[in-house]
Amino acid sequence: MADPKEWTETVKQSAGVKRLVLTQFRNHSRLDLDLEPMPICLVGPNGAGKTNILEALTVLGPGRGLRGAELDDMARDGVDGGPWAVAASLVSDGVESRIGSGLERNNDGSTKRVARLDGRSATPGDLARAVRLVWLTPAMDRLFAGPAGDRRRFLDRLASAAEPEHSNANSQYEKALRERSRLLEEPNPDKRWLSSLEAEAASHGVAVAAARVETVNALQSVIDRRPDGAFPKADLALEGTVETDLAVGMTFGDAEDAFSQRLHAARARDASAGRALDGPHRSDLLATHRAKAEPAGRCSTGEQKALIVGLILAHARRLASTGKAGGIRANPLVLIDEAGAHFDAVRRAALAEELLALPGQAWLTGTEASLFEAFGDRAALFEISAGSARRRR
């Protein structure tokens, strides 16, 4: 059994958001928060704008944020497609950086997303390296009872936080498969071009699968070392042909050849289906509640959420222990929307202690201040109301 003392003795650095500014974002016309390196608890009624603040943090990274919304939809209510901006000062290992993301309108009326890091234009890769984000929303409470696609996206977010190039490999893999599907629709497709696309898809697909395997193995290692407590341990597994090839020790080159050959052999089948029926885009993340020996999808909603929180905490610890990215340790921001939902006082207290032990900053939302009593004066509590924020402690 793991040593609880060893588990909690994490080398901590001041890390997190020092200042956050939202302009014309969702229901916030202007929100300016000065913050400390401690958990941030956002309290208020439904519709006050708590989740909007978490979403704003996620658009500082690559992608479309925790809601997966279109960029125009993030404009302030009543300002359809209008410009908006999110800016933050981030501190990690004593190094401060300025990061911003927003929507600008071109002269022709079209809009585009812009991002800046320390005064310079930033690429999605720059954003991914600058801020590592881990989030949990109520929609994910029954992740393991839902469709496999949701679990793949969840796992890919975890993998991308540890390795920013994972998102690009995934995009290139899906692009190659789309081009292959279009080519298969032709009466007499160019076989050499098909082979080239299949080789490209295999190369990117194996990279995607390898990142997922590494992520699952790393998470399982952290979970196994964690002492038993309020959050049940999960036994994780990946279900997928390419992931299985890698798991049994196949080299990258051999796995690419095997996947490319499967795609070649399945041309007729895939042409009839209109899509590839084999590959990492069909893989699944499986989890078992260890203590109950029960598949996660059959557990209660509260148990599923506890399992997922355990995964999020393990992932945050993994990021904080994997060294430095670009010279800065990957201390993550952990965002948990409706943190107290389905949890009793014991689990809320356990969550508080786990988050306080992390070197990264946690952001939590809830409808009642009492949900965060376990933090005491070790967290900053803000009351959110109608797009405004007032610090209560």
Picking from 162, 88, 133, the residue whose alpha carbon sits closest to that of residue 361 is 133
Tokens in use for 79? 């300002």
Cβ atoms of residues 103 and 174 within 8 Å = no
Summary mean pLDDT of the chain? 89
DSSP line for 148-164: HHHHHHHHHHHHHHH-T
CA geometry: angle 70, 73, 78, nearest 5 deg: 170
DSSP helix/strand/coil, 299: coil
Higher-pLDDT residue of 95, 145: 145
Q: Is 14 exposed, middle or buried (CB count within 10 Å of its CB: 0-12, 13-18, 19+)?
A: middle
Per-residue pLDDT band for 80 (boundaries 50, 70, 90) equals: low
For position 178, what pLDDT does the model report? 97
Measured in whole angstroms, the distance separating CA 38 from the mean position of its chain's CA atoms is 21
For position 325, what pLDDT does the model report? 43
DSSP 81: T
Residue 324: CB atoms within 10 A of its CB come to 12
Highest mean pLDDT among 127-136, 221-230, 234-243: 234-243
- The secondary element (H helix, E strand) that includes residue 367 is none
pLDDT exceeds cutoff 60 at 269: yes
Per-residue pLDDT band for 108 (boundaries 50, 70, 90) equals: confident
d(CA 35, CA 169): 35
d(CA 85, CA 387): 15
Distances 274 to 45, 92, 153 between C-alpha atoms, Å: 46, 47, 22
Fold held by 144-313 = Glutathione S-transferase Yfyf (Class Pi); Chain A, domain 2 (1.20.1050)
Cβ atoms of residues 1 and 228 within 8 Å = yes
Cβ atoms of residues 166 and 174 within 8 Å = no
pLDDT exceeds cutoff 50 at 118: yes
- The secondary element (H helix, E strand) that includes residue 371 is none
Picking from 72-86, 240-254, 292-306, which range would have the lowest pLDDT averaged per residue?
72-86
Per-residue pLDDT band for 4 (boundaries 50, 70, 90) equals: very low
Q: What is the pLDDT of residues 39-56, one digit of tens each?
A: 999 999 999 999 999 999
Per-residue pLDDT band for 8 (boundaries 50, 70, 90) equals: very low
For position 164, what pLDDT does the model report? 84
For position 393, what pLDDT does the model report? 79
pLDDT exceeds cutoff 50 at 181: yes
d(CA 187, CA 148): 33
pTM of the full structure: 0.88
Q: Which amino acid is at 303?
A: E
Quick one: average pLDDT of 59-79? 85
Per-residue pLDDT band for 342 (boundaries 50, 70, 90) equals: confident
DSSP line for 44-55: --TTSSHHHHHH
DSSP 170: H
Quick one: average pLDDT of 227-252? 94
Picking from 74-83, 150-159, 337-346, which range would have the lowest pLDDT averaged per residue?
74-83
Higher-pLDDT residue of 326, 80: 80
pLDDT exceeds cutoff 60 at 384: yes
DSSP helix/strand/coil, 224: helix
Domain ranges across the chain: 1-132+331-393, 144-313
d(CA 376, CA 103): 38
Picking from 64, 65, 61, 60, the residue whose alpha carbon sits closest to that of residue 87 is 60
Tokens in use for 99? 């990061």
For position 330, what pLDDT does the model report? 60
pLDDT exceeds cutoff 50 at 9: no
Q: Which amino acid is at 47?
A: G
DSSP 37: S
Domain 1-132+331-393 has CATH 3.40.630.30: no
Report the relative pairing of strands 40-43 and 362-366 from DSSP bridges: parallel
d(CA 90, CA 96): 5
d(CA 363, CA 35): 11
pLDDT exceeds cutoff 90 at 201: yes
Cβ atoms of residues 164 and 125 within 8 Å = yes
Q: Which amino acid is at 40?
A: I
